[in-house]
Amino acid sequence: MKDKYTFTHISTNDNDFKQILKKYQSFLNNYKTYEETLSNKNAGTNNKSNKASSYKNSLAKIFVNYARIYGKIPEDPSSNETIENMKKLQSMTSFVTINRQTGRFYNAALEGYFNFVSLRDPLIIKRANKKFVSKRSIQSGRILPIYKSKKEQTISYYYPRDQRFSLIAMENNNWHCFFSKKHKLFKKDDGTPYLEAHHIIPMKYYGDFNVSIDQPCNIVPLCPNCHRKIHHARKRDRNKMIKFLYNCRVNDLKKNGINITLNKLLSYYDK
């Protein structure tokens, strides 16, 4: 009997693999598009490589292993918790062995996943969505129409995030931390400053609203320190930051059909 904490190679005929493809359909398809964009950038627009599909399948197989090793499928495949667990999985001896035996696609898919979920290369994402994002829509801070995402069932539910809206929020704030332009940011390989997208109304409460809350009016770019502070600081410091964001964006939220009181927003961060 195999150790349940061992990373194993998954067949495409595996029922769990098929279920993962279905449950994470939107997320995996967006990841595939990201990988295709990278391939086209590196090999030209006429590149016929099928690597993106292989990476997508490899990532789905990794999620099957994730569920078996940790005992559950992640609620949100792009959450900090999921990312940290994926890093731990990557360091397992059994992962290294299987990766080497299967052409190293697992590790390549995992590294692509880390880049995809952390927006480490936003310029590539911008180019990938160039036909969807016009200069006018970036300046207005909104892409029309904005449709609500459908729930995708894992063990529970998560709501897919549109990477374009995070990019727009960063461009609207000229690639500075929303709390202060003086906050120092390190540069990535492409020369852009590293920022993290923060939803003022947390995405876990998506179902409380009649319209999508995954849109630029509800997203602000934060430096890593501020992003962790607004989630993990003591309550009085955290509330001060939340009140500042609320006062800055309450009118924009209302214009986009998102109505929420300050007290309700504060209560979301206490849960």
In Å, how far are 70, 95, 224 from 236, measured between CA atoms?
Answer: 35, 43, 19
Cα–Cα distance between 98 and 154 in angstroms, integer?
25
pLDDT of residue 156: 43
- Predicted confidence (pLDDT) per residue in 209-267, tens digit: 888 898 899 999 999 999 999 999 999 999 999 999 999 999 999 998 999 999 999 99
Closest by CA position to 77, among listed 66, 69, 88: 66
Nearest 5°: the CA angle 46, 52, 58 is 160
Residue 71 phi/psi, 5-degree rounding, is 85, 5
Query: Would you state the pLDDT for residue 139?
Result: 45
Residue 144: count other Cβ atoms within 10 Å of its Cβ.
Answer: 6
Provide the CB-side half-sphere exposure for 101 (13 A, CA).
10
Q: Which of 191, 231, 9 is nearest to 104 (CA)?
A: 9
Higher-pLDDT residue of 115 and 175 is 175
What is the pLDDT, as a whole number, of residue 37?
76
Q: Tell me the pLDDT of the chain averaged across its residues.
A: 80
Higher-pLDDT residue of 85, 271: 85
From 195, 258, 253, 249, select the one nearest 226 (Cα to Cα): 195
Give yes or no for a contact between 159 and 151, defined as CB atoms under 8 angstroms apart. yes
Start-end of H helices in the chain: 15-23, 25-43, 51-70, 80-90, 93-101, 105-118, 122-128, 135-140, 163-172, 224-232, 235-255, 262-270
154, amino acid identity: T
Among residues of the chain, what percentage have pLDDT more than 90?
A: 39
pLDDT, tens only, 49-79: 578 888 999 999 999 999 999 998 888 888 8
Quickly tell me which residue has 């063990």 as its tokens. 155
pLDDT above 50 (res 45): no
Could you report the per-residue pLDDT of 108-147, keeping only the tens digit for each?
Answer: 888 888 888 865 434 433 443 443 344 444 444 444 444 4
